[in-house]
Structure 1
Amino acid sequence: MASTLVQCGAWKLTLELGGTEILGIMEDTVATATEPKVEAFFNGTVDLPCNFKNPEEISLEELLIFWQDANDLVLYELYQGREKREFIHPKYINRTEYNQTTWTLRLQNVRIEDQREYKCLVQHRGPKGLVLVHQFSFQLFVLAPFSQPEITRLDNMTAKIGDVLNFSCSAEQGYPQPEEMYWMVTTENSTKIPGIMDLSIDNITQLYDVRTTLSLTFNETTRINISCYLQTVGQKEPLISKILTIEIQSNEDPGNNFLELILGLVLLFIVIAIVCWTKRHRLCDKRGTTKEKAEDPGHSEEKQVLPTTGHTEQAEK
């Protein structure tokens, strides 16, 4: 935006400052200036320039210096070397600090509503009254960095071949509106998928929240990496989310496979238990028979009588 000031001949310039009419006279001058841009961060501070060099080294006691916005609201006034608060608008009270060394005005607690055109004016009090000796206009732009984009799964289902899964990506508290939001889906190759931005604005801070969604059909790939990009105004590199990795499972139900494994283990345990019980039962039966024979008194006596009987018969013969 350019501002051109052309004056031809001697003419009167009338300014209104806080309701007071100030009359000045300017001689033949021709001045052309390009309106510069000044950037500030939301909730930060910024130095508003005046670009006054004071080549004639006029004393501050003879100068009136003030800044005003596009609505002619006064931010700050320095009258004959002293701050004058009478005409300062309430929205700028206690938010400014003048630096005489650099001829700049520091604006604190920058808001989105502060983004507008400003100008610094310098008047000299001479024999003919207040004369405008300098005017400098500039545009203030306010920036608020968005948060890092964050990907969220919109479902909890396990990804299988042929499934369609849904994702959302969001970033918060930024200004101005972002230029672009898109997805990068990476398998063996990377594919850029444009996103449709859904914007909402905070009525108090006037900052934006942005969101986009993605529906993705999974083919035979076993792994997919998904990331979300947000391109903001004035930034060369986009903001990038953390990578979300999706593992694709086969169409076989993992729950059924797990159930079959459990049933197989249970069946194996039952078979082993039966085999062990059978062997133990047979061993117990065998031990029981042997013990019964060992404890049978008739059987014992029979074994002892037989040799005795034979010996007696031989003796009798």
Structure 2
Amino acid sequence: MVILFYGAAATSKIQAHFNETAVLSCKFTNPQNISLNKLVIFFQDQEKSVLYEHYLGKGLFDNVAPKYKGRHISFDKESWTLYLHDVEIKDQATYQCFISHKSSNGLILINQMSSELSVIANFSQPEIIPDSNSSDTSYVNLTCSSTGGYPLPKEMYFLVQNSTDNSTNKYSDTIHQSQDNVTELYNVSTSLYYTGHDNAMSASIQCVLCPTDAHPVQPGLKEKCLLSKPYIIASKKKEPRSSQNDDLFWIATTAVILVIAVGSVGFLIQWKKKKKKKPDHSHSRECNPW
């Protein structure tokens, strides 16, 4: 068998979402308009394992690697494209497409194409959960978590907006991760120990997760980062008493004082009246000689 090659090799980078379809194209224009019945087309991965083979106009599955048998794979004859359906994380690899012309001289390689496939999975919307086991009200411990994503995020942090000065501060900590043994998807989380509610009227806290290809959160920039719902923290600082409450306090205090004063005056008047009614036994009695 003689294999010749007179086509230029090319490489493309492609991306597919988890559980969706990867498009592996040969990008063959067929300038000589060779019949499909005279062509041999096959796709292989970087380990030389064959995904699909189209031999002289018909699909041939004898040479397909065991790990690809049973997978949902389809080939479009019009566009020279292979569709790998239900993509998994382990499908990340470099794939090659070979197109050969079968002639009397053997197989002549007329086209070769390489595709670097990367697989991504969108993380769930981050969720902030407070620590309900703590009885200490001087602080709040928050955990932000997100599940089912790939690859690991570029950033994961908290944005805290204080109501007093309308300032926004960024707080970041270690990103904890776990990976599913079957799907290879990641679950991630990070924590915030927040004590600022003693110094602010209130605070609005959001968790931000940025995938590896996302931009950081900046005003006016179209973002790919995921934001949690705002978590509102009320201030622990005592509110100053309003002027209306002060007026009511002094009115009540004055009323109590007046009642006490009136009661005291009445008591003194009654006491003096009782004192005057008592007989005077201070003078000596006259004796009657008779």
Same fold (TM over 0.5): yes
Once residues 31 and 89 of structure 1 are traced to their aligned partners in structure 2, the CA distance between those partners, rounded to angstroms, is: 27
Q: 1:186 aligns with which of 156, 161, 174?
A: 161
Once residues 174 and 236 of structure 2 are traced to their aligned partners in structure 1, the CA distance between those partners, rounded to angstroms, is: 29
The residue type paired with residue 144 of structure 2 is C
Gaps of 5+ in 1: 1-22, 253-317
Once residues 96 and 107 of structure 1 are traced to their aligned partners in structure 2, the CA distance between those partners, rounded to angstroms, is: 5
The residue type paired with residue 233 of structure 1 is T
Residue-by-residue CA offset, 1:239-273 (whole Å, 9 max, x unaligned): 00000001123479xxxxxxxxxxxxxxxxxxxxx
Once residues 123 and 24 of structure 1 are traced to their aligned partners in structure 2, the CA distance between those partners, rounded to angstroms, is: 11
Q: 1:227 to 1:159 in 2, by over 3 A?
A: farther
Match of 1:139 in 2: 116
C-alpha displacement of 1:96: 0.6
Match of 1:233 in 2: 212
Q: 1:212 aligns with which of 190, 194, 216?
A: 190
Structure number with the bigger relative contact order (C-alpha 8 A, sep ≥ 6) is: 2
Instruction: Say whether 1:124 aligns with 2:124.
Output: no
Contact 1:66 1:121 in 2 (8 A): yes
Consecutive aligned runs of 4 or more in structure 1 exceeding 4 Å deviation? 156-160
Once residues 58 and 184 of structure 1 are traced to their aligned partners in structure 2, the CA distance between those partners, rounded to angstroms, is: 61
Instruction: Say whether 1:82 aligns with 2:58.
Output: yes
Secondary structure of the residue that 1:71 maps to in structure 2? coil
Secondary structure of the residue that 2:2 maps to in structure 1? strand
Moved more, 229-238 or 150-159: 150-159
Q: CA RMSD in A?
A: 1.9
Once residues 99 and 142 of structure 1 are traced to their aligned partners in structure 2, the CA distance between those partners, rounded to angstroms, is: 22
Match of 1:45 in 2: 21
Once residues 147 and 166 of structure 1 are traced to their aligned partners in structure 2, the CA distance between those partners, rounded to angstroms, is: 22
Once residues 194 and 182 of structure 1 are traced to their aligned partners in structure 2, the CA distance between those partners, rounded to angstroms, is: 5
Match of 2:176 in 1: 198
Question: Percent identity at matched positions?
Answer: 38
Q: 1:157 to 1:246 in 2, by over 3 A?
A: farther
Residue-by-residue CA offset, 1:178-222 (whole Å, 9 max, x unaligned): 101111011021001123211110010000011101111133212
C-alpha displacement of 1:53: 1.0
C-alpha displacement of 1:234: 2.2
Q: Greater helix share, 1 or 2?
A: 1
Tell me which structure has the larger Cα radius of gyration. Answer: 1
The residue type paired with residue 240 of structure 1 is L
Secondary structure of the residue that 1:36 maps to in structure 2? strand
Contact 2:95 2:114 in 1 (8 A): yes
Instruction: Say whether 1:26 aligns with 2:4.
Output: yes
Gaps of 5+ in 2: 216-222, 240-290
Aligned residues: 226
The residue type paired with residue 154 of structure 1 is D
Residue-by-residue CA offset, 1:81-124 (whole Å, 9 max, x unaligned): 00001011232224111101111011111000001100100111
